Structure 1
Amino acid sequence: MPDHNQTAPGELEVVRRFINTWSFPNDTREETDALPELARAPEGWRKVFPHQSRSRLDALGRLQRLRADLRTACQGEASSDEVLNEWFNSAALHVKTRWIVGATKLMIESSEASFVGYIVAVVANAIASGEWARLKTCPDCRWAFYDHTRNGSKRWCGMTKGGPDGRACGTIAKVTAYRAREAMKGGVA
């Protein structure tokens, strides 16, 4: 899936890439999970997550549960607050001050030296900064994308195909809805 204007700012991009290790490719429309292969192949892991190593705490099942919970949270489900809070507790988050670009900022960090701890801390910082609400998943292809629109109302990963491997999920959804409305009115669909 192309990333045309879907990348998230800063470290939140690592979270987006992690969520997208599960995908629903346009050509096959069958679920694909790249995480087991990445967990088995350290060189593959380093290619996708070059600055984040795994630890013994990063078992495949735990990584898959975190990814599924983050995907649910990106969809804005009501139960996601409770689930995220459980991850925050398990990763032993704490607040520190850090000097960044001429100012002191509060940063949430994890005491857990693991990829999971890192991801959970990035999510907590994104929630604190307001960026988390803009990380969304497409209701059609379920690709995680960052909403760069001014008002944060983007719903689909894209309205145009964006290349040979792209999918115009928004256009497809709107055409489908239009045809359904026309069929209800007795029009031609």
Structure 2
Amino acid sequence: MPDHNQTAPGELEDVRRFINTWSIPNDTREATDALPGLARAPKVWHKEFPHRSLSRTDSLPRLQRLRDDLRSACQGEASSSEALNEWFNSAALGLKVRWVGGALQLDIEASEGSFVGYLVAIAAKAIASGEWTRLKTCPDCQWAFYDHTRNGSKRWCGMTKGGPDGRACGTIAKVTAYRAREARKDGVA
């Protein structure tokens, strides 16, 4: 799926890309999981995530569980807070304050040097800064995107299909709602 200005700022982009290792491609509309293949191929992993390699503690089931929990948090599921708190505790996050450009900045780092620890620390920073609320998933195709709109109200990954084989999740949802309203009118009349 094309990104169409859906990239997240800074390191949060690694979280978005990690969440999107599970996707529903437009051509098949069947869920696919790229994570097992990425985890088995260090060169491919490094191309996808150049900032951090996998460590011994980054098992595939652990990575998949983190991805599922991060996706749930993007979808605004209330149960995700408990899961994220467990990840924050297991990563043993450390907080440090430093001066940057005349202002205090909070640095959050995981004592665990794993990819999981790296992503958990990024998620904690995004929550603390308020950026997390703009990391969302499309209710149709489940693609994770960063909401760049001024008021943070974007709901779908896109309103235009982005190519001959693309889908326009927002347009499809609006057309479906319109047809349902029209069918109700026809049934009442």
TM-score of the two chains, using structure 2 as the length reference: 0.95
Cα RMSD (Å) of the superposition? 1.2
Name the counterpart of 1:48: 48
Name the counterpart of 1:20: 20
After TM superposition, the runs of 4+ consecutive aligned structure 1 residues lying more than 3 A away are: 98-104
Structure 1 spans left out of the alignment, 5+ residues: none
User: Residues 54-93 of structure 1 correspond to what in structure 2 (within 5 A)?
Assistant: 54-93=54-93
Contact 1:2/1:163 (<8 A) preserved: no
CA–CA separation in structure 1 for the residues paired with 2:11 and 2:103: 19
Name the counterpart of 1:7: 7
Contact 1:35/1:64 (<8 A) preserved: yes
1:72-92, CA deviations, whole angstroms, 9 ceiling, x for partnerless residues? 110001111111111111111
CA–CA separation in structure 2 for the residues paired with 1:101 and 1:38: 39
CA–CA separation in structure 1 for the residues paired with 2:155 and 2:82: 24
CA–CA separation in structure 1 for the residues paired with 2:71 and 2:35: 14
Name the counterpart of 1:161: 161
Return the letter of the residue paired with 2:38: L
CA–CA separation in structure 2 for the residues paired with 1:66 and 1:141: 20
User: Residues 120-159 of structure 1 correspond to what in structure 2 (within 5 A)?
Assistant: 120-159=120-159
Does 169-178 or 158-167 show the bigger shift?
158-167
CA–CA separation in structure 2 for the residues paired with 1:138 and 1:3: 13
CA–CA separation in structure 1 for the residues paired with 2:166 and 2:5: 13
CA–CA separation in structure 1 for the residues paired with 2:24 and 2:62: 21
CA–CA separation in structure 2 for the residues paired with 1:131 and 1:168: 25
**Residue correspondences, number:** 187
Return the letter of the residue paired with 1:8: A
Structure 2 spans left out of the alignment, 5+ residues: none
CA–CA separation in structure 2 for the residues paired with 1:96 and 1:120: 16
TM-score of the two chains, using structure 1 as the length reference: 0.95
Name the counterpart of 1:173: 173
Give how far 1:34 is off. Answer: 0.3
